[in-house]
Amino acid sequence: MCGIVGIYSHKPVAAEIYDSLIHLQHRGQDAAGILTYTKNTQRKFHIKKGAGLVRDIFDEQNMARLQGNLGIGHSRYPTVGGFGIEDAQPIWTAAPYGIAMAHNGNIVNYPDLVKELWQKDRRHLNASVDIEVVLHVFAHALDKATLTNPDSDFFDLICSAVQSTFSRVSGAYSVVAIISGKGMVVFRDPHGIRPLARGIRRNEDGSDDYIFSSETTMFYSLGYDLDGDIHPGEVVYIDLEGNCFSRRLTENQFSPCIFEYVYFARPDTTMNKISVYRARLRMGQNLARRWKETYPDILPDIVIPAPSTANTSALSMAFELGIRYSEGLYKNPFIGRTFIMPGQLQRKKSVKYKLVPQELEIRNKKVMIVDDSIVRGNTSKEIVKMVRDFGAKEVYFVSACPPVKSPCFYGVDMPTRCELIASNMNIEDIRKEMNVDILFYQNIAELVEAVTRKGDHNIDRPCLACLDGVYPVGNINKDIMNGLETQRNHERLKI
């Protein structure tokens, strides 16, 4: 999972891209980069990338070098490629024109495309990150279209290149790019698995500025109004004069990732015309209603969230149950998100640094812990142990997400079945493993209902691959799954 942003403006964009990446920091903490473009006679890319948090990579000196009115930015959480600076985004190629690109997602047929690009297209790859294959597939197709139809409208050439990309690249990808001498290009995979929102800012002189981002959290502070989302299979092109063109090239099943609403997205974002905050309120509401049906004679004394992604669902569930809500676990705000940390030991160690139980809220009480999900189970077990250590009389553990049983190959770090606790145990075994009195999961139907109940979203079927094993794209069979898991395990050894 990563955060991307692209801005076309009538003023310098570096500071706004930096601010946007700060808003997207929760989506990736391993690396970040900003690339800007000066559209004057120099026609030059300016780039700064680094490992770590956004605030630690950029300073006054290197920000001053990032000149230009077009730019793209990226905050990285790696699921493909290494963890070095060479795999940080954006990346670029010199031919044709000069193209820079960043993306959020994961390419399923990455190994095959690497071979094709070298053997068939004669294009050399410098990194091991999957955006590079998207870049070269697009660049090769654009070069070919330009040579074949030199007199064609440039937007038609872009559409031809993106269509070729759609036909060759399998997986999830939302892309922002800059083409030297031409402008900005934005597109989203045919199933729209990864999010990509669009914003517009009206200037006093009648001109428009545009922003494209994984989330909408920075729109208000930067003065942009939400202008919908990039549709699945849609490409947008903004030329150097600010003229905006768009075309939807395919209309497949719209399957945005359900886990964005459960965990990854900030609650103050609107994604695919759905409020993430309201979706999480509805998750808690549905959980509470089914709890009362399943356990009509059992109520906790207190409901506490596993902060902070679960706060909204826990608040709603407590309200529906008529039980006091309390922040019984204090979160250290300076510790990163444990789910996206690269190693199991690092995740487990950071939980105790991250969370501190509040004894007066826990001791001698029947405590209901509400978490957004249970993935590997390590964090959940540590939380339960903390609560029991501080004197809870009984512990009920509630997950706003159904059991996570299958790996995600579309950008979420759930690479192997052996790591997923629900892939190897039934619910009763998980309950015993976690040492809780009751373990209660959301079911798939109620999660989908919570996300899709409101909003003009046009979602056909959310991507539920990690929950039900049905993958929208990629023809993922057992052999492909084994290969992808082996690849990911090999890359983890580089950490």
The catalytic site residues sit at 2
Backbone angles phi, psi at 166, to 5 degrees: -60, -40
Cβ 6 vs Cβ 212: under 8 Å: yes
Cβ 372 vs Cβ 310: under 8 Å: yes
Residue with tokens 């105790």: 352
Cβ 33 vs Cβ 17: under 8 Å: no
Relative to beta strand 91-93, strand 99-107 is antiparallel
Which three-class secondary structure state does DSSP give residue 309?
coil
Task: Centre a 10 Å sphere on the Cβ of residue 287 and count the other Cβ atoms it contains.
Answer: 27
| Structure tokens, 316 | 């709603």
Q: Which residues of 370-390 are buried (b: 16+ CB within 10 A; e: fewer)?
A: bbbbbbbbbbbbbbbbbbbeb
Q: Which residues of 58-82 are buried (b: 16+ CB within 10 A; e: fewer)?
A: beeeebeebbbbbbbbbbbbbbbbe
Q: Which residues of 24-39 are buried (b: 16+ CB within 10 A; e: fewer)?
A: bbbbbbbbbbbbbbbb
Cβ 141 vs Cβ 93: under 8 Å: no
Which residues are CB-contacts of 490 (< 8 A; sequence separation ≥ 6)?
none
**Residue of 86, 47, 83, 88 whose CA lies nearest to 66:** 47
Burial class (CB in 10 A: 0-12, 13-18, 19+), 23: buried
Which residues are CB-contacts of 472 (< 8 A; sequence separation ≥ 6)?
191, 193, 253, 255, 461, 463, 465
| Structure tokens, 101 | 């690109």
| Structure tokens, 246 | 């768009």
Which run of H or E residues covers position 200?
strand 197-202
Half-sphere exposure of 192 (CA within 13 A, CB side): 28
